[in-house]
Amino acid sequence: MGPIPLLLLLFLTVLSPFSRIKAEEDFTWEIKKVPLVINKKTVTLSSPDFKAEAKRELNGTCGIECQSRLPLPSVSDLQDFLSYETVYENGTRTSTEVYFRNFDMQAEHEVIKDSHSRRKRHVYGMDSRFSISDKQFVTNYPFSTSVKVSTGCTGILVSPKHVLTAAHCIHDGKDYIKGAKKLRVGILKLRSKGGGKRRKGSKRGKREAKPAEIKPSFQWTRVKRTQVPKGWFKGVTDDVAVDYDYAILELKRPQKKKFMDLGISPTVKKMPGSRIHFSGFDDDRPGQLVYRFCSVSDESNDLLYQYCDAQPGSSGSGVYIRLKDPESKKWRRKIIGIFSGHQWVDVNGQQQDYNVAVRITPLKYAQICFWIHGNYAGCRDG
């Protein structure tokens, strides 16, 4: 689709297509006790080489049936997966081991009872993406939370100075990609272009000056440090690496923009219309922010499988939904996943394509929240 009409966009994103069913079914954010992911030991590592090539597509991912045959990871396994590396802007690197407190294995691996019918995508059909063309709209919430990562991906603001994105946007599983050495984040802001002032005493200056054109453009800021879970690294885990395809980027300068809060991903049956939403900077529409929403086709404990139309460049987008706040009863958006991108997954021994998002589980929520705040004061209830 081309540029989205403003009234239709308001209907889709503000009024919500689910307003008709609010009276029939109450979709509310559940308050869950979040475990503590506590730093155990931090050691200094050698500086990374930054030699990996950026990947647009991740092949050979263990699919839904494949994952169902894997034994559930032990607490020790999960502590290995949630341990993490930190890379600073000067090139230094540390590795941090973690352990858990108040951890509920059953809550982390919630049994999904209601399976969803799986659809094979033989025909993609009409492109369901919307380009956000309105100059003011694209720089207002919630679209203003989407940012451009200099390696070619998208991210989303989760605090004034933190961006959540996909791990593969900065690391290929073995090494950090070349562009991650001087990582930057671009934030869309309205700027004046063209126009000019009249000069005194000149004939041309007596004419009316052409008014400056207001256009959205990126303001770039450097990344101070990046944090990636070791579950993404090859050698720590292979079969479930995509489950940990997320990273946090800390900016050098805080942004005066509204950010989007984190949330723990509910099961699909608790999402209005089983739908998710996200916006990104797709490569085939340069300079445009592209919004889309779609129903989730299937899910595992760590992943959401769907057919939202997307192109390279949208990887790392924050996947969000709207549910009611249990106290105010107002509808509130929260990020419940990170769009990983197009994946070839193993389904009954055959390769099938899906678009995959990493869902935010209680453990991942605890880890990401700690990375953002540096403490657990605001991270105990998801």
204 domain-assigned: no
Q: What is the rounded CA–CA span in Å between residue 348 and residue 126?
A: 28
How many helices (H) and strands (E) the chain has is answered by 6, 17
- Helix locations, the chain, DSSP H: 6-10, 64-69, 75-82, 105-108, 135-138, 362-373
Give the C-alpha distances (Å, rounded to integers) separating 218 from 158, 191, 192.
18, 9, 12
Highest mean pLDDT among 3-7, 87-91, 298-302, 325-329: 87-91
Q: Does 24 score more than 50 pLDDT?
A: no
Asked whether the predicted pLDDT for residue 1 surpasses 60, the reply is no
Coil, helix or strand at residue 257? coil
- Residue whose tokens read 């999904």: 112
CA distances from 232 to 174, 246, 256, 358 (A): 9, 8, 31, 12
CATH of the domain at 365: 2.40.10.120
Length of the chain equals 382
Residue type, 293: F
Strands 303-306 and 247-251, bridge-based pairing: unpaired
Which residues fall within 8 angstroms of residue 344, CB to CB, at 6 or more apart? 57, 59, 60, 61, 351, 352, 353
What pLDDT band is residue 231 in, cutting at 50, 70 and 90?
A: very high
pLDDT at 157: 97
Question: Given this model, what pLDDT does residue 25 score?
Answer: 54
Q: What is the pTM of this model?
A: 0.86
pLDDT of residue 15: 41
Beta-strand relationship, 130-132 and 184-193: unpaired
Which residues have a Cβ under 8 Å from the Cβ of 237 and sit 6 or more positions away? 77, 80, 81, 231, 244
Q: Is residue 116 part of a domain?
A: no
Q: Indicate if the pLDDT at residue 260 is higher than 80.
A: yes
pLDDT for 2: 53
Number of structural domains the chain divides into:
1
pLDDT tens per residue across span 357-369:
999 999 999 999 9
- The residue with greater pLDDT, 191 or 44, is 44
C-beta separation of 171 from 317 below 8 A: no
Mean pLDDT of the chain: 82
Pairing of strands 146-149, 84-88: unpaired
Residue 303 lies in a domain: yes
Question: Residue 38 falls within a domain, yes or no?
Answer: yes
In a domain, 241, yes or no: yes
- 10 Å CB burial of residue 366 (0-12, 13-18, 19+) is buried
Residues in CB range of 160: below 8 A, 6 or more apart: 254, 255, 256, 257, 259
Tell how far CA 27 is from the center of its chain.
Answer: 22
Under 8 Å CB-to-CB from 201, ≥6 apart: which residues?
Answer: none
Q: Between residues 20 and 269, which one has the greater pLDDT?
A: 269
Amino acid at 56: R
- Structural domain of residue 147, as residue ranges? 6-110+129-191+212-373
The pLDDT assigned to 112 comes to 52
Residue 189 in this model has a pLDDT that exceeds 90: no
* CA terminus-to-terminus distance, the chain: 36
**pLDDT at position 16, please?**
46
Residue 177's closest CA among 153, 151, 148? 151
pLDDT at 145 > cutoff 60: yes
- For 293-332, letters b (16+ CB in 10 Å) and e give bbebbbbbbbbbbbbbbbbbbbbbbbbbbbbbeeeeeebb
Overall average pLDDT of the 239-248 stretch: 84
146, part of any domain: yes
With a CB cutoff of 8 Å and minimum separation 6, the contacts of 357 are 276, 278, 303, 304, 306, 319, 337, 338, 339, 340
Check residue 193 and give its pLDDT: 64
3-state secondary structure of 156: strand
Q: Is residue 201 part of a domain?
A: no
CA-to-CA dists, residue 41 to 38, 83, 96, 206, 288, angstroms:
9, 10, 6, 70, 43
pLDDT higher than threshold 60 for residue 198 = no
- Statement: residue 23 has pLDDT above 60: no
By annotation, the residues acting in catalysis are 168, 239, 315
At 328 the pLDDT is 86
CA 177 to chain centre: 19
Contact 41, 277 (CB under 8 A): no
**Per-residue pLDDT band at 100 (split at 50, 70, 90):** very high
Residue 297, token pair as written in the block: 């086709």
With 60 as the cut, is the pLDDT of residue 96 above it? yes
Q: What is the pLDDT of residue 114?
A: 47
pLDDT band at residue 194 using 50, 70 and 90 as cut-offs:
low
Residue 324, domain member (yes or no)? yes
Least confident span in 94-103, 229-238, 316-325: 229-238
